[in-house]
Amino acid sequence: MVMEEKNQRKQWDSTYTNTDDFFGSEPSGLGYRAVEIFRKNGCKKVLELGCGQGRDTWLFAKEGFKVTALDYSESGICQMREKAKDLCLDPNVDCVVQDVRAGIPLPDASVDAVYSHMLFTMDLWEKEISYILEECRRVLKPGGLNLYSVRNDHDPHFGKGPNKGEDMWQNPMGFVVHFFSEEKIRRLADGYEIVHIQEFDDPSPPFTKKLYEVLLRKY
Ligand SMILES: C[S@@+](CC[C@H](N)C(=O)[O-])C[C@H]1O[C@@H](n2cnc3c(N)ncnc32)[C@H](O)[C@@H]1O
C-alpha cells in the first residue's frame, strides 16, 4: 500500500506537469458556492486542502480571502503559486507542499473555514480521513466551517475497476478513488454539526462526476 500511495502522488505530479488546467481553467461551481457560504458566515481566513493547480484558490484570493493552500503535488503547488503571482494575488496566498496524512501545519483555532474539493475522495483510508477531519477541527475556530466534496455511491464509476480496499476503486486513468455513502459521511462527522449534505454533478473536465457537498460546523 505504501508503494500505491507513492504512485498516486507521482501520478498527480506528472498529470499536472503534462496538462495545464487538468480540471479546467475556470473555478468550480463548489468554489463559487463556498465564496457565498463563507462570506455569509463572516469567514476571512480559509484553509484549502488538496488545492491541485489552484482553480479555486485564485477565486478565494480574488474575492479577498486569505488562503493557505496545501497539496502534496509539488508541480500543482508551483503552477498555482506562479499563477497567483501573475494575477498579483500572491499576498493573499500561502502555499504548503505536504501530505495531509502528516497533519496540518497550522496552530489551533487559526482559520475560519476549511475547504476541500475532492481531496477526501482520494486513496485515503477511513481512519486517515477521520484523523484529517480531526485536524481540520483543531485548526478551525469555534463555530468554524468545513466545506468538502466527495464522489458518491451513485457515481457511474462506483464499484468499477480494481478494488483497492474499503470503497476505493482504481479508474482507467490510474487514480484510486474513494466513494462515499451518506451514512459514511455521517459516521465521519464526529465533533461537528452537519449543516447539509447535498448531491450535485460536477461537469468539469475530464468527465462529469456525481458528488456530495458536505457542510460541517465545528461545535
Ligand atoms: C481530485 S484532485 C482535486 C484538485 C482540486 N481540489 C480541484 O478541484 O481542482 C485531488 C488533489 O488532492 C491532492 N492529494 C491527494 N492526496 C493527498 C494527500 N494525502 N495530501 C495532500 N494532497 C493530496 C492531489 O495531489 C490532487 O491535487
pLDDT at residue 1 in the model: 46
State which of 115, 118, 119, 149 you would mutate to test the pocket of ligand 1, scoring each by most atoms of that ligand within 8 A of its C-beta: 119
For 202, the 3-state DSSP assignment is strand
Q: Is 195 within 8 Å of 216 (Cβ atoms)? A: yes
What are the residue ranges spanned by the domains of the chain?
2-18+29-218
Name the packing angle between helices 55-62 and 74-86 (round to 10°).
30
What are the cell numbers at 29? 461551481
Mean per-residue pLDDT of the chain: 95
b (16+ CB within 10 A) / e for 112-122:
bbbbbbbbbbb
What span, in angstroms and rounded, lies between the C-alpha atoms of 107 and 138?
8
pTM for the structure as a whole: 0.96
For residue range 162-172, list pLDDT tens digits in order: 999 999 999 99
At residue 162, the pLDDT reads: 95
CA of 96 to the centre of ligand 1 (A): 12
> Tens of pLDDT along 49-74?
999 999 999 999 999 999 999 999 99
Distances (CA, A) of 95 to 108, 116, 162: 18, 15, 34
For domain 2-18+29-218, give the CATH number.
Answer: 3.40.50.150
Mean pLDDT of 105-118: 98
Q: What is the pLDDT of residues 146-185, one digit of tens each?
A: 999 999 999 999 999 999 999 999 999 999 999 999 999 9
pLDDT interval class at 16 (50, 70, 90)? very high
For the chain, the maximum distance between any two Cα atoms, rounded to a whole number of angstroms, is 44
pLDDT value for 6: 63
Ligand 1 pocket test target in 8, 70, 71 with most atoms within 8 Å of CB: 71
Say yes or no to pLDDT of 117 above 50.
yes
Residues 6+ apart with CB under 8 A from 66: 44, 45, 46, 92, 94
pLDDT of residue 92: 94
Of 181, 183, 117, 188, the closest CA to residue 148 belongs to: 117
Average pLDDT over residues 76-82: 94
Is residue 201 a contact partner of residue 208, using CB atoms and an 8 Å limit? yes
Cβ–Cβ under 8 Å, residues 112 and 46:
yes
Percentage above 90 pLDDT, the chain = 92
